[in-house]
Amino acid sequence: MQSSIRPRRSVLYVPAANAKAMAKSGTLDCDAIVYDLEDAVAPGAKADAREALKAYFDANPSSTKQRVIRVNGAGTEWGAEDFKAAAACRPDAILLPKVEHPLGILSAAAELDRLGLEGVQLWAMIETPLGIVNIGDIARLGAQPDSRLVCFVVGSNDLAKETGVPLPKGRSTLLHWLLQVVIHARAYGLDVVDGVYNDFRDQAGFEAECEEGVVLGFDGKTLIHPSQIAFANQAFAPSPSELAEAQRIVSAFAQPENTDKGVIALEGKMVERLHLDIARKTLAKAGSTQA
Ligand code: COA
Ligand code: MG
């Protein structure tokens, strides 16, 4: 499904078992929140977390932010109950962990169809070797409107764990796999969000990794702490100079002498219609964050 432009610059995980963080979540300036029932919740706290989540959505039935619920995998002892609870909350999306095959997404979509929940989309975590190996088959669902799939989320901690590679600064060990996820998302019109930066007291390291995510082509970054939101919002939005340049390109092609031209010169640079497309997208992206 080709997603319309929805900002995904900052996607904050909030453990559903953490009452304080849950209460704070509605006040934070991130684009999306992932209420987590999976990795951030200990096995003994799963049932309470589910109840806390349902109570939270009952008390807060709507939000200006995108709200996503991460469930435990369908193959785990908590998966079915989590999915039922998540669907009952009617979030914007349900995030499926450790997706390794299109089937998991298709059966989640079929279940949402059965429940008549038209508005609930699916996001998929890519965080295992098989998820990377099968990324083409999984991403292809993006072109299939009834799959509900709109966004990939990289799980870099699990990817490092499952492959046994270290996770050094700069993530040289993961780059090849990260790029696989990005290019397949782009091929099928999906959004794609980068993994988390664990050391939330290391602001400089976090900022460097955000900038790396921008260069790799991600739409945004998953976050673990409120202190990471502001920089992610800035890093993944078009900068003032990019916006000004986009505006100049749009204005130049709108000039009567240029409306029929495929290529023009602007400030000493060649500018083609493909650059006009990019400029329009940049302006739309900036607009989406001002809504
Ligand atoms: N969402 C919302 N609020 C959060 C938050 C989060 N992810 N992380 C911290 N906060 C809140 C704290 O509750 C605290 O609130 P207060 O100002 O009302 O007291 C404030 O931000 C400052 O928190 P701080 O004391 O610096 O951190 P902490 O020790 O409470 O929590 C973590 C640190 C890592 C345990 C916590 O940030 C966390 O659980 N993050 C998410 C982890 C997760 O979801 N992992 C799974 C995906 S990788
Ligand atoms: Mg994980």
pLDDT digits (tens, 9 = 90+) for 104-132: 999 999 999 999 999 999 999 999 999 99
- Which residues line ion ligand 2, judged by CB < 5 Å? 39, 127, 155, 158
Q: Which residues pair with 14 in a beta bridge?
A: 35
What confidence tier does 4 reach under pLDDT thresholds 50, 70, 90? low
Instruction: Cite the beta strand spans of the chain per DSSP E.
Output: 10-15, 32-36, 66-70, 93-96, 121-126, 149-154, 191-194, 220-223, 263-266, 269-272
pLDDT in tens, 147-158: 999 999 999 999
CA 184 to centroid of ligand 2, rounded, Å: 20
Tens-place pLDDT, residues 16-45: 999 999 999 999 999 999 999 999 999 999
Distance, in Å, from the CA atom of 269 to the CA atom of 103, rounded to the nearest integer, reads: 48
* pLDDT bracket for residue 277 (50, 70, 90): very high
pLDDT in tens, 172-194: 999 999 999 999 999 999 999 99
What's the confidence (pLDDT) of residue 291?
Answer: 54
Confidence of residue 3 (pLDDT cuts 50, 70, 90): very low
DSSP string, 47-60: HHHHHHHHHHHHH-
User: Which residues pair with residue 36 across a beta bridge?
Assistant: 15, 70
Using CA atoms, how far residue 101 sits from 16, 130, 138, 162, 177, in Å, is 27, 8, 6, 17, 16
Radius of gyration of the chain (CA): 20
Residue bearing tokens 């780059």: 175
Average pLDDT, the chain: 96
Beta bridge partners of 96: 124
Could you give the angle at the alpha carbon of 232 between the alpha carbons of 229 and 237, nearest 5°?
130
**pLDDT tens digits for 192-233?**
999 999 999 999 999 999 999 999 999 999 999 999 999 999
Ligand 1 atom at minimal distance to the Cα of residue 36: 44
Phi first, then psi, for residue 175 (nearest 5°) are: -55, -45
Q: What band does 2 get if pLDDT is binned at 50, 70 and 90?
A: very low
pLDDT greater than 90 at residue 5: no
Distance 95 CA to ligand 1 centre (A): 20
Q: From 250, 259, 197, select the one nearest 228 (Cα to Cα).
A: 197
